[in-house]
Structure 1
Amino acid sequence: MFKKRLLLVGLSIMFLSKAAYSQEESAVPQGVLTLDQVVEFALVQSPIIRQAQIDEEIGDRNIKSNLADWYPQITASAAGAYNIKLQQQIIGDQLITFGQPYNSNVLFQADQTLFNRDQLFASKTSKYYRQQLQQVIENAKIKTVVDVSKAFYSILLSEEQLNILDQNLGRLEKQYKDAYSRFDAGLVDKTDYQRASIALTNVKSDRNRVANSFEAKYDYLKQLMGYPEDFDFTIEFDTQRAEGKIAEDAADPLMLENRVEYKLLQTQQTLNEIQTGYAKWNYLPQLSAYYRYNLNYFNANFSELYQTAYPISAVGLNLSIPIFQGGKRIHQVKAAELQVDRGNIEIENLSKQIRTEYSTALAAYNSSVYEWQLIRENMEMAEEVYNIIKLQYDEGIKAYVELVVAETDLQTAQINHINAFYQVLEDKLDLEKALGTIN
């Protein structure tokens, strides 16, 4: 019977583990992923976002801990003592001994804060601390979107480069075979197929370098996403649609309030101003109420100590009024006011930095778009030149060296075009970040 139960428990654990693993596996996107899917996963599983969310929870607990002092504080304490030498006093001609050898007491006390500047400060700032924590998460999300998107584009760039190199590799292999056949037939000298061999080797070397970069780039993207190491995926991207959107895009006007860094500084400045008020509250009294219930025990014998209790209880108020603190309050107020002045300078400086960042990002984006359009025209021209020279070479009009030059120019133009296009996408991300419009 015991063995059967043990077997059932083992099977239950196995099925539960398998179900949990299946659930975890289904939550991880696999197969072919778009940029939106990659970013969506990263916004949940990215390490920096998860850390920021934990920081928010920690901050929320600290806020609640500070606000908890507004609630009644109930404590209990107990003490006991053996009086080795009891107090004695002469009254008249008699020696009187006070107390008992054994005594003990149990105290229950409830305190209630009625007015306290620390608690007022905690209540007034809690809203802004929570707002600050949320803004930190927002900042982490923006950084994640930018970093993940750029890592995504880097993989796409390598894929496009690989496609171009594969196309060129196919053409060069055919040209090498044709050149060798012509040499073998005695129509040309061996330099033609040797040039073809050199060009073919160079392209193979470039292709190998690009192909070997994929694993590292995918690992980096997974790291940014918080993607499990045991799973794999590939990516896809609608390049034509992206190219069409670039022509439609127009830069939005800069609004400082859209930048999370600016909002963070504004929140901090609000806290600085509240801190100034807190320093000025130093002269305010502190008021609290209390209730005490104390059980006292006295006896000459320890075994009978707790047979009889002598309770006392009291209710009252505690009022504390600061009168003179050696100029401490004045210095604290001045330091808080200086912190506000410093915050104003910091906000002004950040505003200038954001404007500079925006103008730099806008200039870079406009330049990259212009360059991409020129390079695209250049690529189309290189394709046309190559096709013409290829026809002329096949007809024996052009020398092979001219075909090699045209092939090299075409490959360079294609690589430059795809590099320029993905540079546009990256610069667009930087511009959106500078504008604070990344969702």
Structure 2
Amino acid sequence: MTRLVSFVFLSLVASSSQAQSQSDSLLPSATVDQCIRYALTHQPIIQQAGIDEQLTDLSVRNRLADWYPQIGANYSLQHNFQRQTSFFNGVATPVGATNTSAAQLYLNQSIFNRDVLLARSTQGDVRLQARQATESRKIDVVAGVSKAYYDVLTTRQQIQVANENIARLQKSLNDAYYRYTAGVTDKTDYKRAQITLNNTTATKQANEAALKAKVEYLKNLMGYPVNEPLNVVYDSLQMEREVAFDTLQMPEYARRIEYSQLATQRRLQEANVLYQRNAFLPNVSATAGYNFNFLNNNFGKLYANNYPNSFVGLTASVPIFQGGKRKINVRSAQLQLTRTDLDILNLKNAINSQFATALGNYKANLANYNASKANVALAQEVYDVIQLQYKAGVKTYLEVITSEADLRTAQINYFNALYQVLAAKVDAERALGTLAY
């Protein structure tokens, strides 16, 4: 009974922990900031970048371990069926023992080694390079998630506009039909209303299908569970406030992660040039060892007597002639450094071009957004007036349909413009190097 109660208790605790873990990995409501924070934690690309940083750190530590004393031991056991023979003064005499055993304890200490010196002098930049790769991936994820989030919101708003239009068109269709049955108008009015209603319904269905795909794409960028719902929420006023961007800013190369990566790469290549130039320097190491030697023709007494020997020494290896390899390696390292300098120059030009393009797109989309926002209010006012005039018999139904189409187009254009200006702002911040995460 005690074991049964314990098993039930542990099962409940495990189930509760699993449910809590699953709950922690979901978002009850997803704003753009929450989506970004979630992606930076759960996106496999970011997790892989973290693993790459750990692997880089372990690789550096592995290379630096060569500075420490290398201590080891060897052991051997040998039985000779036939001993070696020595021929001296015309006499052949067997030498050695039938059974031999040896053990060695050795120590090796590097004193000067250019490989280890390179690892020691570049360890900071190597680790920095791994962190910069992680930062670059984070920026890519933030930009992708932000754009996908705004795209989802735009499509949802278009669906909401379609629902409002369908309700309005359905009422308009009913009014037109009643006027036709009353003999006030002919059937063309309600037929036109039916056509417009059908087109709006088809557009809504297309947007609903597109919304599912866009939500799945956003979940993919976030690393969100596939089979779990993602409730995207937003504040329309906050979104409109996020449109603002300081267009007087100028790009600074050092703020771009790509520039920082090239600067780090250049420092590493400078270290490589020095490394290749120092190829003529010797490798120096100190060694020490203690050997245990056991010799006996009687295997049972093999370890009765030990004939040890020990030593300490200094080893230096100096390259004298390598067929011009050192000059070739130095020249190759210098060319790689020159190529990186050209990459930096090209990146500077590209940054200026990218920012100018992104800023131009932002300004154009901002102007379109402001015009679209004003057009929505104007189209709504025109529609309301024409609708009243139609009911009063002053305007034709064709003018009602036209004003309704203008209103619908203005609403859709407004949300498209809002998405485009927010996406353009993301591109501008990325080009400027100020995209926050």
Q: TM-score range by the shorter chain?
A: over 0.9
AA aligned to 1:275 is: N
State how far apart, in whole Å, the 2-side matches of 1:51 and 1:235 are.
27
2:120 pairs with 106, 120, 123, which one? 123
- Deviation for aligned residue 1:376: 2.1
Cα deviations across residues 280-299 of structure 1 (Å, max 9, x unaligned)? Answer: 11111111111211111111
Query: In the alignment, is residue 324 of structure 1 matched against residue 325 of structure 2?
Result: no
AA aligned to 2:373 is: R
Query: Is residue 282–residue 316 contact of structure 2 (8 Å, CA) maintained in 1?
Result: yes
* Aligned residue in 2 for 1:200: 197
Cα deviations across residues 320-353 of structure 1 (Å, max 9, x unaligned)? Answer: 1222222111111111111111111111111111
Q: Secondary structure at the match of 1:104?
A: strand
Identity of aligned residues (%): 39
AA aligned to 2:347 is: L
Query: Is residue 242–residue 422 contact of structure 2 (8 Å, CA) maintained in 1?
Result: no
* Aligned residue in 1 for 2:75: 78
Matches within 5 A, 1:363-378: 363-378=360-375
Query: Is residue 362–residue 431 contact of structure 1 (8 Å, CA) maintained in 2?
Result: yes
AA aligned to 2:325 is: K
Query: Is residue 47–residue 224 contact of structure 1 (8 Å, CA) maintained in 2?
Result: no
Cα deviations across residues 377-436 of structure 1 (Å, max 9, x unaligned)? Answer: 222222222111111101011111111111111101110111011100000000000011
* Aligned residue in 1 for 2:388: 391
Tell me which moved more, 12-21 or 169-178. 12-21
- Deviation for aligned residue 1:247: 4.5
Query: In the alignment, is residue 283 of structure 1 matched against residue 271 of structure 2?
Result: no
State how far apart, in whole Å, the 1-side matches of 2:259 and 2:330 are.
26
- Deviation for aligned residue 1:152: 0.7
Tell me which moved more, 141-150 or 369-378. 369-378
* Aligned residue in 1 for 2:143: 146
Query: Is residue 107–residue 289 contact of structure 2 (8 Å, CA) maintained in 1?
Result: yes
AA aligned to 2:289 is: R
State how far apart, in whole Å, the 2-side matches of 1:372 and 1:276 are.
54
Matches within 5 A, 1:410-429: 410-429=407-426
Query: In the alignment, is residue 241 of structure 1 matched against residue 238 of structure 2?
Result: yes
* Aligned residue in 2 for 1:41: 38
AA aligned to 1:281 is: N
Tell me which moved more, 302-311 or 165-174. 302-311
Cα deviations across residues 152-203 of structure 1 (Å, max 9, x unaligned)? Answer: 1111001111121111111101000101111111111111111111111111
Is the alpha carbon distance of 1:226 and 1:245 closer, same or farther for their aligned partners in structure 2, counting shifts above 3 Å? closer
Tell me which moved more, 173-182 or 301-310. 301-310
* Aligned residue in 1 for 2:330: 333
1:344 pairs with 341, 344, 347, which one? 341
* Aligned residue in 1 for 2:94: 97
Query: In the alignment, is residue 272 of structure 1 matched against residue 288 of structure 2?
Result: no
Query: In the alignment, is residue 32 of structure 1 matched against residue 25 of structure 2?
Result: no
Runs of 4+ in structure 1 displaced over 4 angstroms?
none
* Aligned residue in 1 for 2:52: 55
TM-score (ref. length: structure 2): 0.96
Cα RMSD, aligned residues only: 1.7
AA aligned to 1:290 is: T
Query: In the alignment, is residue 157 of structure 1 matched against residue 172 of structure 2?
Result: no
* Aligned residue in 2 for 1:183: 180
State how far apart, in whole Å, the 2-side matches of 1:142 and 1:406 are.
44
Is the alpha carbon distance of 1:351 and 1:248 closer, same or farther for their aligned partners in structure 2, counting shifts above 3 Å? closer
- Deviation for aligned residue 1:94: 4.5
- Deviation for aligned residue 1:129: 0.7
State how far apart, in whole Å, the 2-side matches of 1:12 and 1:293 are.
60
Tell me which moved more, 49-58 or 368-377. 368-377
Segments of structure 2 that go 5 or more residues without pairing to the other structure are none
State how far apart, in whole Å, the 1-side matches of 2:27 and 2:351 are.
38
Query: Is residue 294–residue 303 contact of structure 2 (8 Å, CA) maintained in 1?
Result: yes
AA aligned to 1:37 is: Q
- Deviation for aligned residue 1:302: 2.7
Segments of structure 1 that go 5 or more residues without pairing to the other structure are none
* Aligned residue in 1 for 2:253: 256
Q: Secondary structure at the match of 1:308?
A: coil
* Aligned residue in 2 for 1:171: 168
AA aligned to 1:48 is: I
State how far apart, in whole Å, the 2-side matches of 1:245 and 1:220 are.
23
State how far apart, in whole Å, the 2-side matches of 1:405 and 1:171 are.
14
1:112 pairs with 85, 106, 109, which one? 109
* Aligned residue in 2 for 1:430: 427
Provide the aligned length of Structure 1 versus Structure 2.
436
State how far apart, in whole Å, the 2-side matches of 1:79 and 1:8 are.
58
AA aligned to 2:159 is: L
Q: Secondary structure at the match of 1:213?
A: helix
State how far apart, in whole Å, the 2-side matches of 1:241 and 1:78 are.
75
State how far apart, in whole Å, the 2-side matches of 1:95 and 1:335 are.
61
Tell me which moved more, 58-67 or 17-26. 17-26
Query: Is residue 247–residue 359 contact of structure 2 (8 Å, CA) maintained in 1?
Result: no
State how far apart, in whole Å, the 1-side matches of 2:221 and 2:90 are.
91
2:219 pairs with 209, 222, 238, which one? 222
Q: Secondary structure at the match of 2:394?
A: coil
Tell me which moved more, 247-256 or 185-194. 247-256
State how far apart, in whole Å, the 2-side matches of 1:186 and 1:386 are.
25
State how far apart, in whole Å, the 1-side matches of 2:298 and 2:45 are.
66
State how far apart, in whole Å, the 1-side matches of 2:136 and 2:92 are.
79
